[in-house]
Chain A
């Protein structure tokens, strides 16, 4: 209980403190110390409640309810303010709807509904707390060095920018990062839906402000796209709470789920609405564009949004709803189809991207799609897979984003095609990036093992469409990761290491992410027993017939073997070096220049295949958006119409 309070309140205090600090030196100290404190606290929290079943804490406070309401009003106010300033009428309308809804809910409607058990802990919230506490705060540390370079770049190259765009907004930036962590802890530890909703809305507005960080036109546009999509989800969440009070007279999430299990036809609409909120936050089609737009923000923001916060809140809610998906067919089908389609189509679109951050964004959306579909399938195996996917994705994706961020500052490009020659002098970064990529898509790493469990659960639950979507989507996954990996593979051989300008804080957190990714892969069997299985047992009362433990150990050993090859392999071999064959006499072998048939000099270049004509955004995106929109609209209407008829 004390630890929960610490996890929620401590980042909040640090956020306020960071808002006031202007100097780099003092900020470094505060961020380092508090990041370590949060990480340690989340580990202590995990140890204390390891393997415990669902455990509620009786905690209710009228003051906290009012604070939650006040925060809701403040959030609407912030959006309203920005909406007026940048003349975005849609944002203004949504903010007003939310404001009115919030006030009616708090004062006219749910005033007498009290939730005794305000906070809780179970194995899923432990896993989430570890992800937020360790990976989230690791990213905050990384941001220290990154933002120094970022600001320097703005100061040196910001001639064309306005005063507003060049302003050093770093205190706000770090305050928002820590506020984000606090809000995430609220979401994963609250049983009171009002508080959960407050955390939900804080993450929405935090990412809005982080995306708008640079105040360029692009940043502002993308920030508004994000806020509009996520406020739609927020309003759906609010509406679901109205329904919960009307039907179940409760705002306790646990009681809501229990009520739903007894009266599935009554909760079809609120479950649909909550699932809709989850889909928007998890950036599923047609809402995936907000996550793509979020790339304009500084890279630590992307890392935070993609790995440990924001989108993970979306899938967290969906996984929590899984018991209800098992009894409510319509919302379950909506989630399954949207998730499956998103997985396949976004994997397709990732093939056609040359921008590294965009590839990462598409892969995030695709993986979230897979988690979403698993939540919808809602068998013990599927939930086992979903939780593991959340863990591995968080570790590998944060590692990749941090690597790309550092690379970008040193080679001045995010283009994958630029990652061969310019990258030559950063072999360690290249190897870490390779590790991250391998963790994302290939056996024997955890992500693929989870995908395998996903496949089994899809087959067992006779989800024929999902099996096909998974088969084709996975193939696309191989293509876009494989060619990126190939671009990096040549670098590991270069002996020199000129990476001196990378900040120590960046190395520290990149190293941390790499270790987490590796430990998670190698300790997969243990992690399954300690963290995931207690949750499955708690929810379903039984364990799924998941992958035999022997197979987990085989993959664990093979993962360790790959690690040895990547980091300890005989890279500087004594073999005689030869020039590349260029069908002509080499003039400069390193630059691939040769003497051509006219005795002139030609440069041999090659580009990876991006298969634009088949998998281009222009071809894939529109049908996917239309299809998913239809599915969502039909499902929400059907959930309101069909159950009463039956």
Chain B
């Protein structure tokens, strides 16, 4: 029963992904600090931050942002559960978009000028990466013959052999999805932020903690998508997948530290061009083969 599998996967993801994601976030801060010539915080610093946020007073502007963020968390867990239990890739992509939408709604609900501006930019970000996500899934489908992630274990060769252009395109939009510079338009972890804090301006305490946890889970999920391209059966390929995913993650941190933020026009144009070229070429090739 794939339905039960999905539920079990969702629960497992909801427990494990925050742990892995938290460690990754801690490493991210250390690596970033080393790139900038600093020592950086302890690896568990993100966990200490969130623990402190949870202990804070419950203060809100709109009264609904907490509810929306809880929904966003639940949907993130489902998206991860569907993916890591070997379910449908497209379904996972759609559900994570739903989580993103609830995050956007939470930001809008405060009706704060800064948060609204951030939320508006976040919708542009979603619009920028969405075509490539869809085309990536289509290319996976054409290469593997199904959207089911579990099918990769039965393949004779990894999907990447047929989907190099789509994978490059996906790496490009991964920067947007992880909200890394130069595409951290809606909210940023860095100090150079003209929107005060963008989408999360009015969020505090537990609500902000939910945003952090959701971000950890998202990171794990997207790295899972990255690794999926390199797996074709056998535990050894699983290691390859993890190595590639971590390499991609390191690459994103490097980009984050080396590029200045761009305007939304540049983001939209470049992301759509990449989607059209990489996705388009890959689909044409796969259709002809």
Write the chain B residue with the least CB distance to A485.
Answer: B105
Which residues does chain A contribute within 8 Å of B265, judged by CB atoms? Answer: 614
- Whether B104 pairs with A573 at a CB distance below 8 angstroms is no
Of residues 527 through 578 on chain A, the ones whose CB sits less than 8 Å from some CB of chain B are 548, 550-551, 553-555, 558, 561-562, 565, 569-578
Interface readout for A574-600 with B: 1 if CB under 8 Å, 0 if not?
A: 111111111100000000100000000
Which residues does chain A contribute within 8 Å of B88, judged by CB atoms? Answer: 548, 551
Write the chain A residue with the least CB distance to B7.
Answer: A554
Closest chain B CB from A480 CB (angstroms): 9
Bound-complex Cα distance A608 to B124 (A): 11
Write the chain B residue with the least CB distance to A462.
Answer: B287
Closest chain B CB from A600 CB (angstroms): 17
Write the chain B residue with the least CB distance to A547.
Answer: B88
Once A452-B94, A455-B90, A475-B130 are accepted as A-B contacts, the answer to whether A577 and B64 lie under 8 Å apart by CB is: no
Closest chain A CB from B198 CB (angstroms): 12
- Whether A575 pairs with B114 at a CB distance below 8 angstroms is no
Which residues does chain A contribute within 8 Å of B3, judged by CB atoms? Answer: 550, 553-554
Which residues does chain A contribute within 8 Å of B252, judged by CB atoms? Answer: none
Interface readout for B62-93 with A: 1 if CB under 8 Å, 0 if not?
A: 11101110010011001000100001101100
Closest chain B CB from A443 CB (angstroms): 3
Bound-complex Cα distance A573 to B120 (A): 26
Q: Is A605 an interface residue (CB 8 A)?
A: yes
- Whether B127 pairs with A478 at a CB distance below 8 angstroms is yes
Interface readout for B111-145 with A: 1 if CB under 8 Å, 0 if not?
A: 11110110111011011101100110010011000
- Whether B124 pairs with A573 at a CB distance below 8 angstroms is no
Which residues does chain B contribute within 8 Å of A455, judged by CB atoms? Answer: 90, 134, 138
Of residues 448 through 490 on chain A, the ones whose CB sits less than 8 Å from some CB of chain B are 448, 452, 455-456, 459, 462, 464, 467-468, 470-472, 474-476, 478-479, 482-483, 485-487, 489-490
Which residues does chain B contribute within 8 Å of A456, judged by CB atoms? Answer: 141, 147
- Whether B131 pairs with A442 at a CB distance below 8 angstroms is no
Bound-complex Cα distance A492 to B111 (A): 12
Q: Is A415 an interface residue (CB 8 A)?
A: no
Q: Which of B36-44, B213-221, B231-239, B275-283 contacts A (4 or more CB under 8 A)?
A: B275-283
Closest chain B CB from A411 CB (angstroms): 16
Q: Which of B23-31, B47-55, B95-103, B222-230 contacts A (4 or more CB under 8 A)?
A: B95-103
Which residues does chain B contribute within 8 Å of A482, judged by CB atoms? Answer: 101, 104, 123, 126
- Whether B61 pairs with A420 at a CB distance below 8 angstroms is no
Closest chain B CB from A458 CB (angstroms): 9
Q: Is A113 an interface residue (CB 8 A)?
A: no
Bound-complex Cα distance A592 to B117 (A): 14
- Whether A558 pairs with B75 at a CB distance below 8 angstroms is yes
- Whether B109 pairs with A573 at a CB distance below 8 angstroms is no
Bound-complex Cα distance A521 to B275 (A): 31
Q: Is B59 an interface residue (CB 8 A)?
A: yes
Interface readout for A331-350 with B: 1 if CB under 8 Å, 0 if not?
A: 00000000000000000000
Write the chain B residue with the least CB distance to A351.
Answer: B127
Which residues does chain A contribute within 8 Å of B59, judged by CB atoms? Answer: 575-578
Residue in A476, A486, A550 with the greatest tally of chain B CB atoms within 10 Å: A486
Write the chain B residue with the least CB distance to A420.
Answer: B111
Which residues does chain A contribute within 8 Å of B63, judged by CB atoms? Answer: 493, 571-573, 575, 577
Closest chain A CB from B104 CB (angstroms): 6
Closest chain B CB from A470 CB (angstroms): 8
- Whether A479 pairs with B61 at a CB distance below 8 angstroms is no
Q: Is A112 an interface residue (CB 8 A)?
A: no
Residue in B127, B141, B275, B284 with the greatest tally of chain A CB atoms within 10 Å: B127
Q: Is A501 an interface residue (CB 8 A)?
A: no
Write the chain B residue with the least CB distance to A448.
Answer: B94
Which residues does chain A contribute within 8 Å of B131, judged by CB atoms? Answer: 471-472, 474-475
Bound-complex Cα distance A550 to B85 (A): 13
Closest chain B CB from A584 CB (angstroms): 11
Bound-complex Cα distance A90 to B75 (A): 55
- Whether B57 pairs with A576 at a CB distance below 8 angstroms is yes
Closest chain B CB from A482 CB (angstroms): 4
Of residues 97 through 146 on chain A, the ones whose CB sits less than 8 Å from some CB of chain B are none
Which residues does chain B contribute within 8 Å of A442, judged by CB atoms? Answer: 94, 97-98, 101
Residue in B111, B120, B135, B141 with the greatest tally of chain A CB atoms within 10 Å: B111
Closest chain A CB from B192 CB (angstroms): 17
Which residues does chain B contribute within 8 Å of A553, judged by CB atoms? Answer: 3
Which residues does chain B contribute within 8 Å of A485, judged by CB atoms? Answer: 101, 104-105, 108
Bound-complex Cα distance A606 to B121 (A): 12
Which residue in A459, A551, A562 is a CB contact (below 8 Å) of B141?
Answer: A459
Interface readout for A594-625 with B: 1 if CB under 8 Å, 0 if not?
A: 00000000001110110100100000000000
- Whether B134 pairs with A581 at a CB distance below 8 angstroms is no
- Whether A467 pairs with B58 at a CB distance below 8 angstroms is no
Q: Is A444 an interface residue (CB 8 A)?
A: yes
Closest chain B CB from A530 CB (angstroms): 21
Q: Is B6 an interface residue (CB 8 A)?
A: yes
Bound-complex Cα distance A576 to B206 (A): 13
Interface readout for A185-213 with B: 1 if CB under 8 Å, 0 if not?
A: 00000000000000000000000000000
Which residues does chain B contribute within 8 Å of A572, judged by CB atoms? Answer: 63
Residue in B59, B130, B141 with the greatest tally of chain A CB atoms within 10 Å: B130
Bound-complex Cα distance A614 to B68 (A): 31
- Whether A562 pairs with B71 at a CB distance below 8 angstroms is yes
- Whether B104 pairs with A486 at a CB distance below 8 angstroms is yes
- Whether B130 pairs with A474 at a CB distance below 8 angstroms is yes
Q: Is B188 an interface residue (CB 8 A)?
A: no
Interface readout for A142-162 with B: 1 if CB under 8 Å, 0 if not?
A: 000000000000000000000
- Whether A478 pairs with B91 at a CB distance below 8 angstroms is no
Which residues does chain A contribute within 8 Å of B97, judged by CB atoms? Answer: 442-443, 478
Q: Is B196 an interface residue (CB 8 A)?
A: yes
Which residues does chain A contribute within 8 Å of B75, judged by CB atoms? Answer: 558
Bound-complex Cα distance A611 to B124 (A): 10
Which residue in A474, A561, A609 is a CB contact (below 8 Å) of B74?
Answer: A561
Q: Is B110 an interface residue (CB 8 A)?
A: yes
Write the chain A residue with the least CB distance to B128.
Answer: A475
Bound-complex Cα distance A474 to B272 (A): 13
Write the chain A residue with the least CB distance to B201.
Answer: A581
Bound-complex Cα distance A475 to B71 (A): 22
- Whether A554 pairs with B6 at a CB distance below 8 angstroms is yes
Q: Is B2 an interface residue (CB 8 A)?
A: yes
- Whether A478 pairs with B130 at a CB distance below 8 angstroms is yes
Q: Is B202 an interface residue (CB 8 A)?
A: yes
- Whether A479 pairs with B124 at a CB distance below 8 angstroms is yes
Which residue in A483, A550, A554, A575 is a CB contact (below 8 Å) of B120?
Answer: A483
Bound-complex Cα distance A572 to B63 (A): 6
Which residues does chain A contribute within 8 Å of B116, judged by CB atoms? Answer: 486, 606, 608
Write the chain A residue with the least CB distance to B112.
Answer: A580
- Whether A576 pairs with B58 at a CB distance below 8 angstroms is yes
Bound-complex Cα distance A229 to B67 (A): 48
Which residues does chain A contribute within 8 Å of B2, judged by CB atoms? Answer: 548, 550
Bound-complex Cα distance A463 to B220 (A): 33
Of residues 251 through 283 on chain B, the ones whose CB sits less than 8 Å from some CB of chain A are 264-265, 268, 272, 275-276, 279-280, 283
The 5 closest A-B pairs by CB, nearest first: A486-B108, A443-B94, A475-B130, A493-B63, A489-B105
Q: A468-B280, A471-B135, A490-B111 are known contacts; what are 9 more A-B pairs with Cβ within 8 Å?
A: A443-B95, A478-B130, A486-B104, A554-B91, A573-B60, A573-B64, A575-B63, A581-B196, A582-B113
Ordered by A's residue number, 26 sampled pairs between the chains whose C-beta atoms are within 8 Å are A442-B94, A443-B98, A464-B287, A471-B134, A471-B275, A475-B128, A478-B123, A478-B130, A485-B101, A486-B104, A490-B111, A492-B109, A554-B6, A558-B95, A575-B66, A577-B63, A578-B204, A579-B61, A580-B61, A580-B111, A581-B196, A581-B202, A605-B113, A608-B120, A609-B120, A614-B265
